[in-house]
Structure 1
Amino acid sequence: MTPPRRPLLRAIALAPLAAAMRPAAGRAQTQDLARPVPDAPTPILFVHGNGDHSALWMPTLWRFESNGWPRDRLHALDFTDPLARDDDAVPQPMRSSTDDALREITAEADALRRRTGAARIALVGNSRGGYPIRNLVQLNGGGPGVSHAVLCGTPNNGIYDWEQPAGREFNARSPFLRRLNGGESQVMEGTEFLTIRSDSNDLYAQPDGRYAGRPGTPTGVTFTSPELRGAKNVVLPGIDHRETAYSARAFREMFLFVAGREPDRLAVSPEPRPVLDGRVTGTPGGVQTNRPLPGAVVEVFRVDPETAARMGEAIHRRTTGEDGRWGPVTVAPDWCLEFVVAAPDHPITHTYRTPFPRSSAVVNLRPAPPPAQADRAAGGVVRFTRPRGYFGIPRDVVVLDGKEPTDVPRGVASGATTIARLPASELGRPVVGLFNEERVVARAWPIAENRVTVAELTW
């Protein structure tokens, strides 16, 4: 191993990129404007974080495609059980260990190299997804097959440095992090490492233990926890934990690092007829898994962008098999959609989405968890959610049903869902969710029929 290199810390102050994060509304293109690339670029494997799934990478995949990256050289994996164990050494139902994650990323990386014929690939991980990347490259001989490792908001030096819980993989004192961080350098010679972090708005890189369940207790780590000795370390001011991976600002950094040039565009170039597909996965007992859910009936409706009223019969209907796949369905790049999932042992979930400008095979659908007791007295509930980032008030404009929510934490961006509860007499009207420049319109369904509405942001 070479002596440690001096970390490069680059604070980047970029102008707001909200308009660049999506295609211009109402201007559906009739052709794919993605820039062709003459030479096959490096295949990239994208790795999601704790409790998440591959769908979070969808806009990032679109942005790479819009800059000429062939779709067959981009792949986002799904860990079977994405939630970490409470103690890495103690088996826990439907939760994974660091060894489990290593086994699955190794298989996915090998498969991507075989499929593309590439000798080396790039690995890009968000949050916990950076741990198996480091585990593979640093401790398990994966470096020769990995050209670039990009770690986005990964708590490389821990979320906290406490005596307990000693076996939790996010603890700086855990055996796992001690193995990763025990050397003079925290990277491996021959693989280029990039870290992307926030300046102070990442809830998992905080000096106070509030977001680790111990408010007022020092965590023993700082805002710099995601950085690595020997890596290129980039700071993007103001971004939150998930935006370190899924934002346009993060995309620019990872593209520049892997491609060796600036991207031509941050906006997504629409396709004339996007094809959507994905899997339905379950949340048994409230535990988030990526295990396929067979026997789920999925319907897709085109809806009016202003009222969320259905525009005719379902454009697609399918019952999932053992693989959980619900598609494919062909749409237009300017259609707003309603996905209805009726799955065994889950509420019937109506999910409203803004247009899909490009094709995607990772439009994964998770039925909503059972309504909380506080929701059951309402006629209907609308869960306004942002999977690829958090609501940061006052950083962001967040309005649900004409009001700024009171259940979104102020200060550090840490809340990804806010709920509107409607009386039964108001179930027939539109409910608007506004996040900065993205607008989702939904309709609440009767909670007495075990139905839940989700208004899901794409950006």
Structure 2
Amino acid sequence: MTNASRRALLGAMALAPLIPRLARAQEAALTPILFVHGNGDHAALWMTTLWRFESNGWPRDRLRALDFTDPLARDDDAVAQPMRSSSDDAWRELAAEVAALRGRTGAARVALVGNSRGGYPIRNHVQLHNGGAEVSHAVTCGTPNSGIYNWEGNAGREFNARSALLRALNGGESQVVPGTAFLTLRSDSNDLYAQPDGRYAGQPGVATGVNFDSPALRGATNLVLPGVDHRETAYSARAFREMFRFVAGREPDRLSVVPEARPVLDGRVTGTPGGVPTNRPVAGALVEVFRVSAASGERMGDAIHRRTTGEDGRWGPLAVAPDWSLEIVVAAPGHPVTHSYRSPFPRSSDVVHLRPAAPPAVADREAGAVVRFNRPRGYFGLPRDVVLLDGREPAELPRGVAAGAIAIARLPAAEIGRPVAGVFNEERVVARAWPLAENRISVAELTW
């Protein structure tokens, strides 16, 4: 060994003990991020975004997606409503999550990222409750910051530009706070909640009083993502790139998700009592998971997991392979038995939340079987997207502005048990038709 080689080896040996500490220091420098879902939604919508951050080196313990207990806004923010939340309710839950994330990570400041209604408690915390000192970055994605409409009627509705909340948030010359970096992400004209016509607010032909730029904020960095829909302003790869570089100060290494060898899945079963979506845990729900054929949806043997939920509603953990297609069956008290068919999970997640399907609509009740094709992290846009259910473009999906996230196939009793394929661009999920007479509903749920 030459002297030069010996010196290099000795230097490497001297540095070796420092490498883990350097890695930990680099991880600690990454800002903790709290993700905030929208109206009626839950933390599971952020699953793919969490995967993308992890795939770019963000430690899992510095990422958190919250669940509002009652995620649906009241009809009037000042009037109590069962299983609905006020803007103050949402702010209090967010403030508690911020404190918990700071306490767990030891970070002085965190970044907040919200979709749709989830942007309101972020702004409420920073602008109206002096939260700027503990928030380094605030990102609102598709949030109707200037309202969905500006109407005299229903002025107490949180989404009305005349509501007390939005008047308080928007009354100043600037809509941001010094010391906290603000970013807004919006569509050019494809967000159904930022439209000049009231069609998507139940008043077609009536001017809303707002425009496509309703999500923008005075004083913020305002970016337009052409063609994306309301949810894609937050949950798409395009949106991820912008929020990542805004918080990290650099470009991500990749937009794709790096698979794990053995992902572990967990989450909670929550309910929709009376048709109202909540994030309250459901006890006594039987969850069974089967590995299925990606091509046909047919089960490949017995259940690989079976658990009845306790008071916390948790149904896992379950270790899977990153290329397994799954059927997740949820039998929850007071809900239809739901057979949910899912694409493979490439990485672990503890927000694989399971909401049983809503009861069949009147139009469904004469069918032998019902298969719902669901896109939770975006909408179906025609003719923007290729959308096929059981070999046909669903006739009920609107054309133009992307506004529908569910398509339905109704099958006669003679076709119970056969596969039904849902295709959205390059993602394909195959479900099996189960008998509606047994109070069973099939769901082909997209991941992307």
Structure 2 equivalent of residue 25 of structure 1: none
Structure 1 equivalent of residue 186 of structure 2: 197
- Cα shift at 1:428: 2.0
- 1:99 matched to 2:125? The reply is no
- 1:279 matched to 2:268? The reply is yes
Task: Could you list the structure 1 runs, at least 4 aligned residues long, displaced by more than 6 angstroms after superposition.
Answer: none
Matches within 5 A, 1:151-300: 151-300=140-289
Q: Report the 3-state secondary structure (helix = DSSP H, G, I; strand = E; otherwise coil) of the residue aligned with 2:404.
A: coil
Please give the alpha-carbon distance, in whole angstroms, between the structure 2 residues aligned to 1:319 and 1:436.
Answer: 36
Residues 120, 145 of structure 2: 8 Å contact kept? yes
Structure 2 equivalent of residue 29 of structure 1: none
Q: Counterpart of 2:391 in structure 1: which amino acid?
A: G
Structure 1 equivalent of residue 423 of structure 2: 434
Please give the alpha-carbon distance, in whole angstroms, between the structure 2 residues aligned to 1:219 and 1:231.
Answer: 24
- Cα shift at 1:37: 8.7
- Cα shift at 1:133: 0.1
- 1:424 matched to 2:437? The reply is no
Structure 1 equivalent of residue 5 of structure 2: none
Residues 27, 58 of structure 2: 8 Å contact kept? no
- Cα shift at 1:330: 0.2
Please give the alpha-carbon distance, in whole angstroms, between the structure 2 residues aligned to 1:417 and 1:186.
Answer: 35
Please give the alpha-carbon distance, in whole angstroms, between the structure 2 residues aligned to 1:36 and 1:196.
Answer: 31
Answer with 1 or 2: which has the greater Rg.
Answer: 2
- Cα shift at 1:432: 0.4
- Cα shift at 1:36: 9.7
Structure 2 equivalent of residue 26 of structure 1: none
- 1:73 matched to 2:73? The reply is no
Residues 202, 412 of structure 1: 8 Å contact kept? yes
- 1:38 matched to 2:26? The reply is yes
Q: Counterpart of 1:321 in structure 2: which amino acid?
A: G
The one-character-per-residue Cα deviations of 1:284-336 (angstroms, maximum 9, x if unpaired) are: 00000000000000000000111111001100000000000000000000000
Residues 37, 68 of structure 1: 8 Å contact kept? no
Q: Report the 3-state secondary structure (helix = DSSP H, G, I; strand = E; otherwise coil) of the residue aligned with 2:26.
A: coil
Matches within 5 A, 1:239-388: 239-388=228-377
Q: Report the 3-state secondary structure (helix = DSSP H, G, I; strand = E; otherwise coil) of the residue aligned with 1:440.
A: strand
The one-character-per-residue Cα deviations of 1:87-137 (angstroms, maximum 9, x if unpaired) are: 000000000000000100000000000000000000000000000000000
The one-character-per-residue Cα deviations of 1:259-287 (angstroms, maximum 9, x if unpaired) are: 00000000000000000000000000000
The one-character-per-residue Cα deviations of 1:172-192 (angstroms, maximum 9, x if unpaired) are: 011110000000000001000
Please give the alpha-carbon distance, in whole angstroms, between the structure 2 residues aligned to 1:90 and 1:198.
Answer: 32
2:53 pairs, out of 36, 42, 64, with 64
Please give the alpha-carbon distance, in whole angstroms, between the structure 2 residues aligned to 1:309 and 1:107.
Answer: 44
Q: Report the 3-state secondary structure (helix = DSSP H, G, I; strand = E; otherwise coil) of the residue aligned with 1:106.
A: helix
Residues 166, 174 of structure 1: 8 Å contact kept? yes
* Aligned-CA RMSD value: 1.0
Please give the alpha-carbon distance, in whole angstroms, between the structure 2 residues aligned to 1:211 and 1:369.
Answer: 22
Structure with the greater relative contact order (CA < 8 A, sep ≥ 6): 1 or 2? 1
> Larger % of helix: which?
2
Residues 143, 188 of structure 1: 8 Å contact kept? yes
- 1:453 matched to 2:442? The reply is yes
Please give the alpha-carbon distance, in whole angstroms, between the structure 2 residues aligned to 1:429 and 1:283.
Answer: 28
Structure 2 equivalent of residue 411 of structure 1: 400
Structure 2 equivalent of residue 3 of structure 1: none
Residues 391, 415 of structure 1: 8 Å contact kept? yes
The one-character-per-residue Cα deviations of 1:122-158 (angstroms, maximum 9, x if unpaired) are: 0000000000000000000110000000000000000
Q: Counterpart of 1:425 in structure 2: which amino acid?
A: A
TM-score (norm 2): 0.94
- Cα shift at 1:68: 0.1
Residues 138, 180 of structure 1: 8 Å contact kept? yes
What is the number of residues matched between the two proteins?
A: 425
- Cα shift at 1:372: 1.0
- Structure 1, unmatched stretches of 5+, are 1-34
Residues 85, 97 of structure 1: 8 Å contact kept? yes
Please give the alpha-carbon distance, in whole angstroms, between the structure 1 residues aligned to 2:435 and 2:201.
Answer: 36
Please give the alpha-carbon distance, in whole angstroms, between the structure 1 residues aligned to 2:232 and 2:271.
Answer: 25
Comparing 194-203 with 372-381, greater Cα deviation is found at 372-381
- Cα shift at 1:193: 0.1
Instruction: State, as a whole percentage, how many aligned pairs show the same letter.
Output: 79
